[in-house]
Structure 1
Amino acid sequence: MKATAIFSAAFALSLIVAPALVLADGGGGGGGGGTNADCPRGEVWDQRSGRCVKQGSALPDKVLRDYAYALAKAERYDEALDTLNLLRDPNTAEALNYRGYATRKLGRVDEGIGYYLQSVAKDPHYAQVREYLGEAYVIKGNTTAAEAQLDAIKGICGTGCEQYKHLAEAIANPAKL
């Protein structure tokens, strides 16, 4: 009970202090996405407080999803999956995409494709999942399926978006995956 009261007080204080820290840092518009994959295992970056906090379901799903993605991009795939396991709603297009990404990067490509397909079913206009799904198809040697994802991305954001460029590069140079 005492620990809960301390955590609640610390969390409330962080909500008061965080805006001042953001303003002191020039507004936080540096384009870094507001995540930090440098937290130790068992902690996640809380953008509101501007520091690492203990992992727990008390954090909003968006904070957990963003941190899981940052962990995955930092090649900390098991930790990313552990963080995704804390989500109250693990069946969003983003969460399924990030789970697919981390799973694929761990070498479980078919399992990753399953998560990607669930994500696409939830949001067919989500370009990032189509990029990652296409990359998984490239890894499997299915260029036709990868090119179908490239066409879908073209319909979503054109040929100038980063998802289109990344997948086109992966199709052209599969060894880079």
Structure 2
Amino acid sequence: MCGNRLTGMMTMMRSILIAAVMGVMTAVAAAYILTASGRHDQVAAVRGDAVRSDAAIAVDAWPICSTMGSMVETADWAVLDPDFAAGKRAIVAGEWDEAIKALTSAALRDDRNADIQNYLGYAYRRLRQFDPAIRHYQQALALNPRHRSAHEHLGEAYLTQGDPAKANEHLAALERICLIQCNEYDDLKRIIATYDKVAKR
């Protein structure tokens, strides 16, 4: 009797484990399929930029990365610091100086916010001011070493300065951080591949 109960419990536990694994696999496949069209559009945009003859890819030629473009979807801007919200809106609008002004004010009130530092780095990079951009990305990573967007953007900044080795270090960091599909990893990997193709010409 005890043996039958034990066998029944083992069968039930095995079934639960199989169901859980299947559920995770289905979720990952669904996420991959649902985001496939966006990835193909981004690849097409990056391939369009690959016709440049020089290895230094202009930072303003890159489309806004997928993680920054999604900022307009944030529904809770009203509860954020007003300068933080204004800085995010300015980034989406491509108003880099306004973004820096607003985000700098927000950083004065919240000096432990890795997102603010990342957004500041992004705005400075889009203005081709690489030293402050890199400084802000590094500050974001000091506050949160697993900040995926900061790793992606810092890697891109290193590429614009002609340092693919450092860009690859951040790609490797993203590979360790992202356990499943990760837009930041995909974006940086595509841009590094494009950089490598252009550099070989």
The total of aligned residue pairs comes to 123
Instruction: Kindly state the Cα deviation for residue 164 of structure 1 after the two structures are TM-superposed.
Output: 0.4
**Gaps spanning 5+ residues in structure 1: where?**
1-30, 36-45, 49-59
Moved more, 99-108 or 67-76: 67-76
* Structure with greater helix percent: 2
Aligned to 2:144: 123
Higher relative contact order (CA 8 A, sep 6+): 2
Question: Please, which of 47, 52, 55 is the counterpart of residue 78 of structure 2?
Answer: 47
Partner AA of 1:80 in structure 2: A
Q: Report sequence identity in percent.
A: 32
2:83 corresponds to 1:64: yes
**Gaps spanning 5+ residues in structure 2: where?**
1-71
Q: Is the 8 A contact 1:65 1:84 kept in 2?
A: yes
TM-score in terms of structure 2 length: 0.56
Instruction: Kindly state the Cα deviation for residue 110 of structure 1 after the two structures are TM-superposed.
Output: 1.9
2:113 corresponds to 1:82: no
Aligned to 1:93: 114
Q: What is the distance in 2 between the residues matched to 1:95 and 1:127?
A: 14
Question: Please, which of 75, 87, 99 is the counterpart of residue 34 of structure 1?
Answer: 75
CA-atom RMSD, angstroms?
A: 2.1
* Structure with greater strand percent: 1
2:160 corresponds to 1:139: yes
Instruction: Kindly state the Cα deviation for residue 155 of structure 1 after the two structures are TM-superposed.
Output: 1.0
Q: What SS does the aligned partner of 2:105 have?
A: coil
* Structure with larger Rg: 2
Deviating beyond 2 angstroms after TM superposition, the runs of 4 or more aligned structure 1 residues are 63-67
TM-score in terms of structure 1 length: 0.63
Instruction: Kindly state the Cα deviation for residue 73 of structure 1 after the two structures are TM-superposed.
Output: 2.8
